[in-house]
Structure 1
Amino acid sequence: MLKPRQQTPDLKINLVNGAEWELSKQQPEAFTLLIVYRGLHCPVCKTYLETLQSKLSKFQDLGVKVIAVSSDTEAKAKQTYEEWAITDVPLGYAFPIAEARKWGLFISKGIKDEPDTFIEPGLFVIRPNQELYCASLQTMPFARPGLDDVINAIKFVLDKDYPARGEA
């Protein structure tokens, strides 16, 4: 299990804009915020990522680089990017299920119109040295941390130099 103050696995992922994104090459001032979403089939994810779009500048002002990823195919991810109001959110696709398990993410078998298997939501706040600061993992689309709460927590952490917790 991945714990705070541990190195995270590196993550190389393709983005819908044709670029490749690599966690180890990020150089945020404060943190990288990795948001894992379920995929195009998830209306809760749509709302969450559209809210993220509206708050991107607040994260950037705090020195936080943001990325959202899923296990969706390239075609589904591009459809997501085109249909959802997330123009400025870096959007990665084809996050391998095996890699997601290394991050401690939950995997579901599809029902109804869902993919056969897909990754459940997660949120990771990662220091510039690729050390995990904190994480929130879900087993279903609900109960994600509110993005205003995440912003306020990062402000507090930066202001008080608050250490990562949960490492013991």
Structure 2
Amino acid sequence: MIKPRTKTPELTINLVNDTKWSLSDQKPENFTRLVVYRGKYCPICKKYLQTIQKHIKAFSEKGVNVIAISSDSEKRAKATYEEWKVKDLPIGYNFPITDARTWGLAISKGIKEEPEEFIEPALFLIRPDQTLYTSSIQTMPFARPEIEDLLKSIDFIIKEAYPARGEA
């Protein structure tokens, strides 16, 4: 587990628009919101990413860059981007399971239509200096923080200059 106020691992990932995204290249005014989703086969992830898409302008107005990543293949990620209609949300793919473990993420073995192994959902709010502000790591696709609540929390954090907690 990465503790708040400590530097996160470097992350460089391919995007569905045929570019590369690196965490160290991000220069948001306030934060980078890293969203890890299970993959194209997950209907709950679809709804979650579509809700983020609906609020992407609000994140931007708060000085927050957003990216969503999964261990899906390029083909599946590009299909996700097109079919889920998340045109303003950068989508990264082929996030290695070994790197996911470095980030402290939960890994599941597939059942039914799922891949053999995949990464469970997580949210990270990362400061411009690449230190972790907060994280929410799931072991299931359920019970993720609501996007509207996250936006309100970001307002509070910025207004009150509220420090990252959980570092002790």
Question: Structure 1 length as normaliser, TM-score?
Answer: 0.99
Equivalent AA in structure 2 for residue 62 of structure 1: K
Provide the C-alpha distance between the structure 1 equivalents of 2:82 and 2:56, rounded to a whole number of angstroms. 18
- Compute the displacement of 1:9 (Å): 0.2
Percent identity over paired residues: 60
Aligned equivalent of 1:49: 49
Kindly provide the CA deviation profile for residues 49-102 of structure 1, in whole angstroms up to 9, marking residues without a partner as x.
000000000000000000000000001001101110201100000000000011
Aligned equivalent of 1:164: 164
The correspondence of residues 5-154 of structure 1 with structure 2, limited to 5 A, is: 5-154=5-154
2:55 is paired with a residue of what secondary structure? helix
Provide the C-alpha distance between the structure 2 equivalents of 1:58 and 1:105, rounded to a whole number of angstroms. 27
Provide the C-alpha distance between the structure 2 equivalents of 1:144 and 1:103, rounded to a whole number of angstroms. 18
CA-based RMSD: 0.4
Q: Runs of at least 4 residues of structure 1 off by over 6 A?
A: none
Equivalent AA in structure 1 for residue 115 of structure 2: P
- Compute the displacement of 1:10 (Å): 0.6
Number of aligned residues: 168
> Which structure 2 residue ranges, 5 or more long, are not aligned?
none
1:105 is paired with a residue of what secondary structure? coil
- Compute the displacement of 1:16 (Å): 0.2
2:80 is paired with a residue of what secondary structure? helix
> Which structure 1 residue ranges, 5 or more long, are not aligned?
none
1:13 is paired with a residue of what secondary structure? strand
Kindly provide the CA deviation profile for residues 16-69 of structure 1, in whole angstroms up to 9, marking residues without a partner as x.
000100000100000000000000000000000000000000000000000000
Provide the C-alpha distance between the structure 1 equivalents of 2:78 and 2:107, rounded to a whole number of angstroms. 22
